[in-house]
A = this chain, B = another copy of it.
Amino acid sequence: MRFARISHSEGASFVAIGGEPDSLIAAELSTSVFEDPKFTGRTWPLAAVQLLAPIRPSKVVCIGKNYADHAREMGGEPPADPVIFIKPSTSVIGPDATIEVPAGLGRVDYEGELAIVIGGLPVRRLKAEDASSAILGYTIANDVTAREQQKADGQWTRGKGHDTFCPLGPWIETNLDPAGLDLRTELDGELKQDGNTSDLLHGIGEILEWITAGMTLLPGDVVLTGTPAGVGPMTDGQTVSVSIEGIGTLTNKVAAV
């Protein structure tokens, strides 16, 4: 199942996406995305509506340096244990929304990532082997980063926490094995990141066990699993796309504001 959230002429709705690849249909849910889906009967051609971020997380918890090749391009070896940080809910935007770069912010990078979406129950002290019971599905994220702020502060919160710096989407794929998925990021059509989730240093279950040892994940919270090598700057007017095998493509424009 692919769950999404859309904006249409009468408001916003959670939907399931179906139909043929060239004529996708959004069918409005009467249930939450955490339940067996039931439908209102309203449908829209996907091409006629705007996708929003597919979930509204209370927080986005992120893993730093979880691919060895990215850790090395940042100038070091990957840490032995996962390192976490938080992007606030206010940083989340949806597909096709604009990544806004304030004047004077310096270099702002894309970081394409596989994102875990937590299911309908709070998750605390999860064992890695029980991870699938805690997960609703997967989507795509761009962990947009103001690189100079990240370095200046030491703490990554400010440089990664700006409004619009967490594009999510296009939808949540609930039927997906997250192992061995190609992850590619393109900037204005040029391939910049070409990784595979088989290179995650800390796997999905291990990450969720690590986080929830201390911090409860709430329904719909999102966990970003780290980015492979190839990060680099985006500038005003460029378009960034992150594609993950089995999910789809998350595309956003960049604008100086």
Contacts and interface: CB of A to CB of B under 8 A. Distances in A.
A47 interface: no
Contacts of A124: 163
Given A59-B59, A89-B58, A89-B59, A84 B153 contact: yes
A225 to B, nearest CB: 16
Interface in A138-183: 146, 152-158, 161-163
A113 to B, nearest CB: 17
A91 B61 CA distance: 14
Indicate the member of A83, A84, A90 with the most B CB atoms within 10 Å.
A90
Q: How many copies does the complex hold?
A: 2
A153 B83 CA distance: 6
Contact of A88 (B86, B90, B156, B213): B86
Given A81-B152, A124-B163, A163-B124, A86 B214 contact: no
A155 B85 contact: yes
A215 interface: yes
Contacts of A152: 81
A213 B89 contact: no
B58 A215 contact: no
5 nearest CB pairs, A to B:
A162-B214, A86-B86, A90-B216, A85-B157, A59-B88
Given A83-B154, A88-B215, 11 more contacts: A58-B89, A58-B90, A59-B59, A59-B86, A64-B155, A79-B153, A83-B158, A90-B217, A102-B213, A163-B215, A163-B216
